[in-house]
Chains A and B, each alone.
Chain A
Amino acid sequence: MIEEECLKRIRSGDETALKEIYLQYQSEFLIWIGKFSGLNSKDSIEVYHLTMLAFFENVKNGKLIELRSQLKTYIFGIGKNKAKEFKRLYQGKNLSLENFSIEFAAEEKTTDEDKNHMIQMLKKGLKELGNPCRSLLEAFYLDEMSMEEISKSFDYKSASVAKTQKYKCIQRLKKIVLKNSH
């Protein structure tokens, strides 16, 4: 029950809940993953980061709502797969770890240079855009919150105000991207 409560808090954007879970399992995970996969301590930390990223996204986008097992079992389960993936893709190769994205981003990998360029421009633009716009876009496109939910969460008067606000945010982002591309 407490674990379910924690998931709710993470879903609602409470960072301290994520931090609690992150620290709670960290040392046990690092020891376990080292024994399980033979990874060194640096790579074990990397795998823990990837595991917690995947866990976070699963909670935020609603893939994980109810726990069918203990939270620890769930997290370690992700870790097991991440360690296998990590070893397959990166061990012994001097590659940028930034490229090792979480599950569904990896599915979208492409060699299309234009697309990659656009994504880089958008990422840069999003940093300049700042909050609340960035959080609003994350809530809509990543967490798949409805406009009704967004209006409540961001204190807008109605869903239609939230919708207009989202439109304005995208327009602002466009201007930033355009400015940066010149």
Chain B
Amino acid sequence: MKRFAFYIIVAAQVLFLVGMSVAYYAMDAFGETIQLKTAPIDPRDLFYGDYVILNYEIETIDAGKWSGAVPEYGEIVYVLLEEGENGLYQVAAASQEKLDPAAGQVRLKGKYQWHNDGRSEHMVTYGINRYHVEENTGEQYEQQRDDIIVEVVVAPWGQKKIVNLKID
């Protein structure tokens, strides 16, 4: 019995790691690719060793696009995106409710950050602010920091990943 339990526990761990990997490749098959514009960021150094820090325009949401109550810091929020000019995706609506996407819209899950009272904007994060790159290739992104377009795949089950950084 104990032997059996041991093999089950080890197998479950193997499955978990394999699952993480499989889900990643499955996203390519079932997910939808969207393009996001990055926003300028505060830290002087964009590039930290083996990853780049990315901020997005869609992380700042006008108060007019928000529906329902204003969440607390760290609460889960849902944001609908739709394709704008140049094929870049922009915020259509945001709420704490699980909004239903209309045709051509994509829903992202994010975390509420804070409210900018002066400019009546809501700040949200989607957890895609780090992109790991090959060592010693970060310089090119560093120089073009304001003109990066990020390609993100969003899976139907809510997972998302950065697939590519494009420099204009």
Q: Do chains A and B interact in one complex?
A: no
